[in-house]
Amino acid sequence: MDTETRTTRFRIMRFYLDNGRPPTLEELTKSTDLAPETVWKSLKQLEDLHHLVLYKEGVPSPTPIAMIHPFSHL
């Protein structure tokens, strides 16, 4: 796992603990200081590694994150 992906995972967890919900893409981009494309790449890598589950395309949700262990947005 690269540094950007580790940072993204940490920021998701921290945000979830502080706010009781997963961050939106904009909130995550702001908190990581990464470009949106880099955040998306990190999210996909985290999903591939089974650290989180992303909503499927077309699912209406303010956040792309459906679940990240041990939390759920369902």
- Give me the pLDDT at residue 70, please: 79
Whether the Cβ atoms of residue 23 and residue 31 lie closer than 8 Å to each other: yes
Class of domain 3-72 as given by CATH: mainly alpha
Has residue 6 got a pLDDT over 60?
yes
Has residue 15 got a pLDDT over 90?
yes
Domain ranges of the chain: 3-72
Q: What is the pLDDT of residues 27-67, one digit of tens each?
A: 999 999 999 999 999 999 999 999 999 999 999 999 999 99
More confident residue, 9 or 72: 9
- Report percent pLDDT > 70 for the chain: 96
Q: In terms of Cα–Cα distance, which of 41, 44, 62 is closest to 54?
A: 44
The CA distances from residue 45 to 18, 19, 20, 34, 59, in Å, are: 24, 24, 23, 15, 20
- Give me the pLDDT at residue 74, please: 55
